[in-house]
């Protein structure tokens, strides 16, 4: 989410900078070219001013006469010399042409008006009495372009000559490119600042969301005491954090009340059940012969109901517990439970085999983990046939230590694997095996309360593997 939000902000900022930078770059190029055009028009105007008055000596100029009079010879020479110096100084071609195209003064020698392109257009516009005012834009990537400016020379309302300049654009393109680089540098700096601000803004907005996400994950995984500190972030998210804490308090209260009810009901039902079984025993003493089978069935059902009540009480106690994980030597803990179950395994004709590393430290509630391992071992021994083996192992992973219990029973199908561990769930193929269907549920609850987990997988060639995982590092609270 952070990357997507940051990407959106950066994309918007890039669009804004592009929307500002592209027109500004165009204005820079147009401004630089306009300066050159104005300079060339000024230069052309100066040459037009120095053009000798057309006419005969000692008489007034005749309108439309294309040839200068003999008295203008000195001024023509000065104009030609000025054009040569202008060309040498600025590198621009310049020429003063009469209406028929003949040159009055031109530098370099032999240069003639362009016969194609923007130069020709500017020349003909000047002959029509219009000066160049908007030549095509020169860009840094058009090195073959020249800038042509034409100015008409008007005498008595008629165009008698044209001053034409054709300037190289190397300097103009260099100045435009330099200013563009300065503009690009400024935009890059603005983009860096914008990215830093976007990162801080994103972090400020998403910090409460991350805290809320962690608290939600903790509650979903059984750590019901997780809450959100309503500090920082937008007011709406702080209000959401407070509402989340209120909701979590109500959920925890409802769950505690439900657990308390289950525990109280289980405890209160045990005494009437015990009294009922005692009365059954007393009634059985007075029953005539031939009813032993019914009496045994009633005893078995009573015992089964007592076990269910005990497991319900154990489940309620496990769900209501708030264990504090501590560093434990899991090898010693697992081996102690294996040794405790080995006599029962021997009575049932099952080999209880242990294999694992010499040392494995993890964070777990020793009592809760031991109770969960007892439930799993009890389940494995019940389903392993006589002569079979239950293998107990320990594996150290990157983030957790996993104890595995593999039995040699009939195993479970894929559909059954998806449901194993649910409360009161038992496979229809195993209804004749003693149990309430709460043992693995209690084991899972105990492990989740300590930051661990319970998993199931099929064993080869047959059987079930149960994995009891606990973290290697202190669980986050």
Can you give the residue ranges of every domain in the chain? 1-54+69-135+143-176, 234-320, 324-471
CA 476 to chain centre: 24
Evaluate whether 406 touches 463 at the Cβ level (below 8 Å).
yes
CB atoms within 10 A of CB 424: 11
**Where is 191: in which H helix or E strand?**
helix 170-220
Domain 324-471 indexed as CATH 3.30.565.10: yes
pTM exceeds 0.85, yes or no = no
Q: How far is CA 370 from CA 104, 336, 355, in A?
A: 113, 9, 17
Q: How far is CA 291 from CA 166, 273, 280, 302, in A?
A: 129, 21, 12, 17
Token representation of residue 143 = 């090195």
Q: Which residues pair with 138 in a beta bridge?
A: none
Question: In a structure prediction context, what are the per-residue pLDDT tens digits for the chain, which is 477 residues long?
Answer: 778 888 888 888 889 888 998 999 999 999 998 998 888 888 888 888 877 655 333 344 443 444 545 556 677 778 888 888 888 888 888 888 888 778 888 888 888 888 888 888 888 888 888 877 778 888 888 777 788 888 888 877 788 888 889 888 888 889 999 999 999 999 999 999 988 988 888 888 888 888 888 888 888 776 777 888 767 777 888 888 888 889 988 988 888 888 788 877 877 888 888 888 888 888 888 777 777 788 888 888 888 888 888 877 777 777 766 677 889 999 999 999 999 999 999 999 999 999 989 888 898 888 888 888 998 999 899 889 999 999 999 999 888 999 999 999 888 888 888 888 887 777 777 777 777 777 888 888 888 877 788 899 998 888 999 999 999 887 665
Q: What is the DSSP letter of 454?
A: E
Residues 6+ apart with CB under 8 A from 360: 329, 330, 331, 394, 396, 401
Classified by CATH at the fold level, domain 234-320 comes out as: Helix Hairpins (1.10.287)
Angle between helices 73-90 and 2-50 (to 10 degrees): 160
Angle at 48 between CA 46 and CA 53, to 5 degrees: 125
Q: What is the DSSP letter of 68?
A: B
Evaluate whether 227 touches 245 at the Cβ level (below 8 Å).
yes
CA 84 to chain centre: 67
d(CA 372, CA 446): 6
Q: What b/e string do you get for 254-274 counting C-beta neighbours within 10 Å, with b at 16 or more?
A: eeeeebeebbeebeebeeebe
CB atoms within 10 A of CB 284: 15
What does R_g of the chain's alpha carbons equal in angstroms?
Answer: 49
- Strands (DSSP E) found in 134-193: 146-155, 158-168
CATH of 1-54+69-135+143-176, one of 3.30.450.20, 3.40.50.300, 3.40.50.720, 3.40.710.10: 3.30.450.20
């Amino acid at each position: 989410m952070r990357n997507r939000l940051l990407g959106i902000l950066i994309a918007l900022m890039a669009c804004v900078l592009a929307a500002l930078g592209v027109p500004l770059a165009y204005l820079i190029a147009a401004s630089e070219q306009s300066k050159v055009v104005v300079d060339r028009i000024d230069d052309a105007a100066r040459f037009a001013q120095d053009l000798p008055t057309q006419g005969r000596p000692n008489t007034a100029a005749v309108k439309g006469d294309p040839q200068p009079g003999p008295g203008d010879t000195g001024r023509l020479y000065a104009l030609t010399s000025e054009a040569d110096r202008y060309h040498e100084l600025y590198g621009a071609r310049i020429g003063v042409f009469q209406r028929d195209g003949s040159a009055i003064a031109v530098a370099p020698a032999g240069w003639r008006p362009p016969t194609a392109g923007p130069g020709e257009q500017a020349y003909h516009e000047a002959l029509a009495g219009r000066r160049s005012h908007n030549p095509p834009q020169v860009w840094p990537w058009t090195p073959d372009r020249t800038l042509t400016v034409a100015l008409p020379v008007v005498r008595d309302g008629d165009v008698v000559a044209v001053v034409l300049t054709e300037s190289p654009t190397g300097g103009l393109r260099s100045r435009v490119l330099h200013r563009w680089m300065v503009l690009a540098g400024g935009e890059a700096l603005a983009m860096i600042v914008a990215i830093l601000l976007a990162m801080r803004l994103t972090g400020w907005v998403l910090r409460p969301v991350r805290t809320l996400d962690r608290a939600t994950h903790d509650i979903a995984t059984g750590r019901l005491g997780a809450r959100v500190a309503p500090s920082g972030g937008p007011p709406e998210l702080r209000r959401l954090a407070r509402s989340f804490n209120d909701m979590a308090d109500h959920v925890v209260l409802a769950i505690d009340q439900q657990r308390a009810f289950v525990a109280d009901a289980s405890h209160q039902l045990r005494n009437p059940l015990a009294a009922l079984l005692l009365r059954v025993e007393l009634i059985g003493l007075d029953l005539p012969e031939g009813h032993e089978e019914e009496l045994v069935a009633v005893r078995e059902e009573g015992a089964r109901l007592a076990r269910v009540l005990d497991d319900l009480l154990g489940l309620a106690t496990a769900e209501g517990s708030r264990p504090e994980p501590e560093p434990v030597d899991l090898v010693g803990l697992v081996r102690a439970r294996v040794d405790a179950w080995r006599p029962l395994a021997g009575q049932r004709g099952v080999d209880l085999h242990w294999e694992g590393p010499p040392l494995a430290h993890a964070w777990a509630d020793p009592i809760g983990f031991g109770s969960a391992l007892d439930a799993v071992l009890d389940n494995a021994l019940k389903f392993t046939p006589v002569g079979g083996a239950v293998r107990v192992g320990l594996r150290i992973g990157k983030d957790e230590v996993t104890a595995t219990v593999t039995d040699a029973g009939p195993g479970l199908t894929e559909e059954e694997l998806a449901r194993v561990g649910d409360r009161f769930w038992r496979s229809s193929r195993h209804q004749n095996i003693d149990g309430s269907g709460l043992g693995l549920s209690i084991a899972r609850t105990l492990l989740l309360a300590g930051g661990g987990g319970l998993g199931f997988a099929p064993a080869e060639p047959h059987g079930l593997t149960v994995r009891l995982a606990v973290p290697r590092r202190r669980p986050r609270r």
